[in-house]
Chains A and B, each alone.
Chain A
Amino acid sequence: MADASPQDGGYNYAYLDEQTKRMIRRAILKAVAVPGYQVPFGGREMPLPYGWGTGGIQVTAAIIGRDDTLKVIDQGADDTTNAVSIRRFFAKVAGVATTTRTEEATVIQTRHRVPETPLRDGQILVFQVPIPEPLRMLEPRETETRTLHALAEYGVMQVSLYESIARHGRISKAYNYPVLVNGRYIMSPSPIPKFDNPKLDRSPALQLYGAGREKRIYAVPPYTPVKSLDFEDHPFEIEQWSECCALCGSSDSFLDEMIVDDSGQRLFVCSDTDYCERRQAAAEAAE
C-alpha cells in the first residue's frame, strides 16, 4: 500500500501517510462497533479547507483502494464545484476510477444528500459532517454533551422538538434532522434534508460520517435501525412538492427550485443529477 504515487512532491498514496490511515481505520472500526457514537480521532490538516469536506475526505482516503470506484456528490449533483474538486483530488492522489453512476460506485462521498437510487450491499456512503454533535445548538459545551450521550440523557432534544411544535404547530426542523441510531445514540445525519432520513434506516450500505474540523468519526453499519425523532401525535414526515421534475417527470425525488427568469418564474428539477439523467435516458429509450 505504501508505494509512492506519481504526483508532485512525493505524497503518499491517497495523500495521507499509512500511520494516519491506520489510525483513522481504527476509529472507523470503533465507530462501526458502537453505531451513532462519535469517536474522537486525530484529524489531520488536509489540502482542502476545513468545512469543505475534510472529514469525509480523510475517511475516504483511509478506506479507498485501487479497485474502488468513487462517486462524489454535493447537493445531490456530481457537477457542483466542490464535488468536482474532491473527485479530481482522489483521481490525482489515489489514481482511483471515478463515476457519476450511483450503482457503479463502491464508495460515494456526499455532502447534503443521500442518492435517490437505493444503495446496495457492499457500498459505502461517506458523509461530510460540519457539526457532528446533534446537541450542539442546544448545549455548546463538548464536556456537557459527551456526558449527556453517556447517560443517554436526551430530554433536551425532545424538549426542543416539543417547543417547535408549541411555537409552529409542527416540527420545523428541515434538515440535519436528529435521529436515534440502534435505539441508543442520538446522531446528526449531517445537513441532509429530512427527506433523506428514511433512506438511512436499515440501509444495506455502510454509512461513515467524518467531521474533520471537529475531529470526530461516527458510523451506521448496514441494516441498522435509524429512527427520526418524533412524537406519537406528531409523526415524522418528509417534504412534499406539488410539482414534479421538469426534466424527468419524477414525483418522488427531492426537487431543487430554479428561478428561471427576471419575473421569478420557477422550475423544479431533481437535485440528484445522476438519477434524473438516468430517468431521462430511460424515457428516451422507451420512445
Chain B
Amino acid sequence: MYVAVKGGETAIAHSLDFVADKRRGDRGIDELSLAQIDQQLGLAVDRVMTEGSCYDRSLAALAIKQARGDLIEAIFLLRAYRTTLPRFGDSQPLDTTAMLAERRISSTFKDVPGGQVLGPTYDYTHRLLDFSLAAAGERPTAPTAPADTARGLPRVGDILEREGMLEPPPEAASPEDLTRKPLTLPASRPVRLQNLARGDEGFLLALGYSTQRGYGNNHPFVGEIRYGRVPVSFVPEELGFEITIAEIEVTECDMVNQFAGSHDVPPQFTRGYGLAFGHSERKAMAMALVDRALRAEELSEAATSPAQDEEFVLAHSDNVEASGFVQHLKLPHYVDFQSELVVVRALCEEVEARRRQAALDQAAE
C-alpha cells in the first residue's frame, strides 16, 4: 500500500552493494592501489591524517579509497578506527628545530639563518593545465642537494624573541586530549590548538580569511613556515629514558602578529601557531591565524568577530560532527513533523474561527 520512507534490511543491503560497486567503477580500468594513493595523492593523505588525528599513511590511503575520494568521509573512517585504539602514553613534545626541512620560508626577513628553502611548492607554478600529465610517461626527477643534518634549524621567532620583540612561547603544560575528554569552556590553549588541528581546513581557512578582512584583524606576518621530517620521542615507563619511536612529516607555521600592548604588557609582536601532519600549509596557516584570533581575551583585545569567539569556533570546527549533523536531516523526521502539522492546523483553525466570528460580529452590528 505504502512504503514511502520505510526501508527494510534488503534495501539497505542493496544500497551497500551499490556503493561498493560504484567504488570499483568500470572493471575495465585498473583498480587503485593504496601505494598509488599514498604516493600520487599524497596531499589528500596528509589532510586525512591531519583532520583524522592519526598519522598512518596506509590507513589514510585506505580510507580515501573506501570513501571514493570524499576526504571528509575518509577523515570520518579514520577517526572511527583511531578512537578504538589503546593509548599507551604521550610522546615528548616535538622539537621542530631538529627538523630535516624540505621547505622553510620566512616572509618577515629577506634571509634568515638556515636560508630560505623553497622546496616542493605550488606557489610559483602557473596554474595552467599540464596536458602532458594526461598521458602516462617517464617524469623527470628533481635535482637534490645533500641535506645538512649536522645542525638544527633555528626558528625565526626565537631570534625575534631574544630581542624582546616577540612574546615567548607559552610555558610547557601537561597535554590534554579532546578525544578522551569533552570540550569545556573556556578551553586552555593546548585544547584549542588540538581542536583547530583536527578542525576542518575549509572552515579555518574562511575564519582566518575573515580576520584579514577586518573581522578581528590581527595584522599577521608569516614568521616562518617549515615542512619536513621530525623525530617522535617517547619515554616508556619501564625504561625511564627517551627513545625515538618514529619520524613523521609535519608542517609548522609560526605567525607573527602586531599587538598594540595593554595595561600590563608593552607593545610587542605576538604569536599564532599552526601545526599539521604532512605537507599542509594552507591548514597550518589558517590554524595559526585563528589561534591568534582566539587569544583576543587573553591579550585584552575587544572580541567582536566570529573568529575571536572561542565557543563559536571550537564548537563548529569539526567536519565529522558538522557533516553528520547536517546530513542527519536526511533521516525520517515525520513524527516531529506530524506534531508540527497538528499544532499548525489547530492554529490555522483558530485564526479562521476568529475571522468568521469577527465577520459575524460585524454583520450583527
Contacts and interface: CB of A to CB of B under 8 A. Distances in A.
Contact of B6 (A11, A77, A191, A195): A77
A9 B186 CA distance: 38
A49 B76 contact: yes
Contact of A41 (B182, B328, B346, B347): B182
Contacts, number: 150
Contact of A45 (B82, B325, B340): B82
Contacts of B321: 50, 213
Interface stretch (B38-46, B116-124, B213-221, B329-337): B329-337
Number of contact residues on B: which range applies? 35 or more
Contacts of B185: 142-143
What's the interface size class on A, roughly?
35 or more
Given A49-B327, A213-B321, A239-B342, A271 B332 contact: no
B57 interface: no
A256 B334 CA distance: 7
Given A174-B339, A271-B338, A47 B80 contact: yes
B335 A45 contact: no
A170 B346 CA distance: 10
A271 B339 contact: no
A194 interface: yes
Interface SS of A by simple majority = loop
Contacts of B336: 112, 174-176, 191, 193
A143 B320 contact: no
B324 interface: yes
Contacts of B343: 172, 174, 239
Nearest to B5: A80
A12 B9 contact: no
B136 interface: no
Interface stretch (A81-89, A202-210, A219-227, A278-286): A81-89
A252 interface: no
Given A45-B76, A113-B335, A191-B336, 10 more contacts: A41-B182, A43-B182, A46-B83, A49-B328, A74-B331, A112-B336, A142-B185, A254-B338, A256-B338, A257-B341
21 contacts: A15-B84, A45-B320, A49-B327, A50-B328, A51-B326, A76-B335, A80-B6, A81-B6, A81-B7, A82-B331, A112-B335, A130-B325, A141-B311, A142-B315, A168-B347, A169-B350, A175-B335, A175-B336, A193-B336, A193-B339, A213-B321
Interface of B: 1-2, 4-9, 11-12, 76, 79-84, 86, 179-186, 311, 315, 320-321, 323-328, 331-336, 338-343, 346-347, 350
Interface of A: 9, 11-12, 15-17, 19, 40-47, 49-52, 54, 74-77, 79-82, 84-85, 88, 111-113, 130, 141-143, 168-170, 172, 174-176, 191-195, 213, 215-216, 239-241, 254-258, 260, 267, 271
Top 6 nearest A-B pairs (CB, nearest first) are A50-B324, A51-B328, A49-B324, A174-B339, A215-B182, A51-B325
